[in-house]
Amino acid sequence: MDPIKYIFEKPALTGRIARWQMLLSEYDIEYRTQKAIKGSILADHLAHQPIDDYQSI
């Protein structure tokens, strides 16, 4: 299991892990699966690489 996901989804935390959750909550971290990230990387890359001499069919 992913440690970040564990920290944010576990309802009752103890000691050091509870402190980590408190410290990490300051940074607005959102957990996203790797599949979601991989799909969005390709779309973002293509959106930032426009073709200047593009002609529609």
pLDDT digits (tens, 9 = 90+) for 35-52: 666 677 777 877 887 777
- Cβ proximity of 21 and 14 under 8 Å: no
- Cβ proximity of 13 and 19 under 8 Å: no
Q: How many structural domains does the chain have? A: 1
How would residue 7 be classed by pLDDT, with cut points 50, 70 and 90?
low
**Is residue 54, in this structure, part of any structural domain at all?**
no
The share of the chain scoring above pLDDT 90, in percent, equals 0
**Is residue 55, in this structure, part of any structural domain at all?**
no
| CA-based nearest residue to 2, from 38, 39, 30, 28 | 30
- Cβ proximity of 25 and 48 under 8 Å: no
**Is residue 19, in this structure, part of any structural domain at all?**
yes
What residue numbers bound the domain in which 42 lies? 3-47
24/34: higher pLDDT: 24
**Is residue 33, in this structure, part of any structural domain at all?**
yes
**Is residue 52, in this structure, part of any structural domain at all?**
no
**Is residue 20, in this structure, part of any structural domain at all?**
yes
**Is residue 30, in this structure, part of any structural domain at all?**
yes
**Is residue 56, in this structure, part of any structural domain at all?**
no
